[in-house]
């Protein structure tokens, strides 16, 4: 190896080492709750104000309260309004019931799994988006049901975080991993599909703020860009920053995923060895 090659090689290693360190340490309760003095005192005041509204252990967790504050730039009043609206929405929509509702009609056609975890134990919603015929769902009038199904899945994954926190795990957020191979302009990026996309995003942003640690898309294509361009304005800053898009260069996304999620947790489409899910 000549000198130039060697230098290039060692700087790659240094970059890689830094990259690995950042990624492994970047998440968890500690980071999520690393607050400035002002933010910490806002959290104490916020807790005192909303305490009577919090009726389970998950809600009393600091990480639960911090989400509303973060979503409203630590404006205590605005965060309280947001939280109250959320609790009202949960009651009106009977969100707790989604646990027991039967979505077997949708599960087959809209594949999404919630049994994958990253290296620090964050649950991952894995979406095989190429399976999702959004156009047909819209034409068949299934949009509202599809939105409710998504809500049930979001309830499940956020509930998993809560369960993990109760066990003392350092988990605060969730990941989304999406394989976009085969996505096309007819089934997923069609004009009549866009309102449904926007509805998914606005529901999640309004009712589940600050939950997404990373939103990783692999095997992206021009159709994905069309969708992203339309929905981007509806993302919060947190989500916009969380989105990572990889194209078809498998080597790039394999390195990235290997660093975050072990291969035994990933299914074949994501370069892993986990057995297929039976829908
Ligand atoms: C999530 O769904 C799985 C499979 O249906 C279920 O076993 C689990 O209890 C659910 N978890 C939560 C927190 O709802
Ligand atoms: C969680 O993180 C804290 C430090 O932030 C550490 O002391 C503790 O061992 C971690 N717990 C688990 C279960 O990883």
Beta bridge partners of 216: 177, 244
| Domain boundary assignment for the chain | 1-31, 33-92, 105-270
Q: Return the top range by mean pLDDT from 4-8, 221-225, 255-259.
A: 255-259
Give just the sign of the alpha carbon dihedral 151, 25, 30, 165.
positive
Q: Alpha-carbon dihedral of residues 150, 81, 77, 33, nearest 10 degrees?
A: -20
| Tokens, residue 87 | 């609790």
Alpha helices, H only, 2-92: 3-25, 29-32, 37-50, 57-60, 62-71, 76-92
Q: Which ligand is nearest to the CA of 103?
A: 1
Q: Which ligand is nearest to the CA of 58?
A: 1
88 lines ligand 2 (CB under 6 A): no
Residue 242 CA, ligand 2 centroid: distance in Å: 23
CA-to-CA separations, 53 to 47, 58, 85, 158, in angstroms, rounded: 10, 12, 12, 19
d(C-alpha 111, C-alpha 277), whole Å: 9
d(C-alpha 159, C-alpha 277), whole Å: 21
d(C-alpha 216, C-alpha 200), whole Å: 17
Per-residue confidence (pLDDT) for residue 265, from 0 to 100: 98
| Domain 33-92 fold | Helicase, Ruva Protein; domain 3 (1.10.8)
Q: Given a cut of 80, is residue 18 above it in pLDDT?
A: no
Nearest CA to ligand 1 atom 10: 156
34 lines ligand 2 (CB under 6 A): no
74-94 per-position pLDDT tens digit: 999 999 999 999 999 999 999
214-228 per-position pLDDT tens digit: 999 999 998 899 889
Nearest CA to ligand 2 atom 6: 170
Helix (H), strand (E) at residue 105 = helix 104-107
98, 101, 114, 156: which to mutate for ligand 1, most atoms within 8 A of CB? 156
| Tokens, residue 111 | 């594949």
d(C-alpha 158, C-alpha 119), whole Å: 17
Is the distance from CB of 216 to CB of 256 less than 8 angstroms? yes
Per-residue confidence (pLDDT) for residue 175, from 0 to 100: 96
Q: Give which of 89, 96, 128 is closest to 110, Cα–Cα.
A: 128
From the CA of 30, give the closest atom in ligand 2.
5
30 lines ligand 2 (CB under 6 A): yes
For the whole model, what pTM was predicted?
0.86
> Residues with Cβ within 6 A of ligand 1?
99, 156, 159-160, 163
Per-residue confidence (pLDDT) for residue 38, from 0 to 100: 95
168 lines ligand 2 (CB under 6 A): yes
Q: Which ligand is nearest to the CA of 30?
A: 2
Q: Tally Cβ neighbours within 10 Å of residue 136.
A: 12
136-171 per-position pLDDT tens digit: 999 999 999 999 999 999 999 999 999 999 999 989
d(C-alpha 266, C-alpha 273), whole Å: 6
Nearest CA to ligand 2 atom 2: 170
Residue 13 CA, ligand 2 centroid: distance in Å: 28
CATH no. for 105-270: 3.40.525.10
110 CB burial (10 A radius; 0-12, 13-18, 19+): buried
Q: Which ligand is nearest to the CA of 107?
A: 1
Q: What is the DSSP string of 173-241?
A: -EEEEEE-TT--TTTTS-GGGHHHHHHHHHHHHHHSTT-EEEEEEES--HHHHHHHHHHGGGS-HHHHH
Per-residue confidence (pLDDT) for residue 14, from 0 to 100: 40
């Amino acid at each position: 190896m000549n000198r130039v090659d060697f230098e290039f090689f060692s700087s790659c290693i240094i970059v890689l080492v830094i990259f690995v360190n950042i990624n492994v340490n970047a998440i968890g309760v500690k980071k999520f709750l690393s607050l400035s003095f002002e933010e910490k005192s806002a959290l104490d005041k916020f807790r005192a104000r909303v305490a009577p509204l919090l009726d389970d252990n998950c809600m009393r967790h600091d990480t639960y309260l911090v989400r509303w504050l973060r979503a409203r730039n630590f404006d205590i009043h605005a965060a309280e309004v947001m939280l109250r609206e959320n609790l009202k929405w949960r009651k009106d929509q009977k969100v707790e019931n989604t646990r027991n509702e039967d979505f077997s009609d949708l599960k087959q056609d809209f594949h999404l799994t919630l049994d994958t975890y990253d290296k620090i134990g964050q649950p991952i919603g894995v979406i095989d988006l190429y399976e999702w015929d959004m156009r047909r769902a819209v034409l068949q009038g299934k949009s509202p049901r599809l939105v409710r199904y998504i809500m049930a899945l979001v309830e499940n994954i956020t509930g998993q975080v809560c369960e993990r926190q109760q066990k003392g795990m350092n988990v605060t957020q969730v990941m989304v991993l999406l394989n976009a191979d085969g996505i096309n302009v007819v089934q997923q990026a069609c004009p009549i599909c866009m309102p449904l996309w926007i509805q998914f995003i606005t529901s999640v942003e309004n009712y589940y703020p600050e939950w997404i640690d990373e939103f990783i898309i692999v095997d992206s294509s021009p159709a994905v860009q069309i969708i992203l361009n339309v929905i981007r304005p509806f993302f919060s800053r947190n989500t916009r920053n969380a989105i990572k898009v990889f194209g078809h260069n498998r080597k790039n996304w394999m390195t990235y995923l290997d660093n975050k999620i072990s291969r035994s947790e990933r299914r074949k489409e994501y370069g892993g060895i986990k057995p297929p899910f039976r829908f």
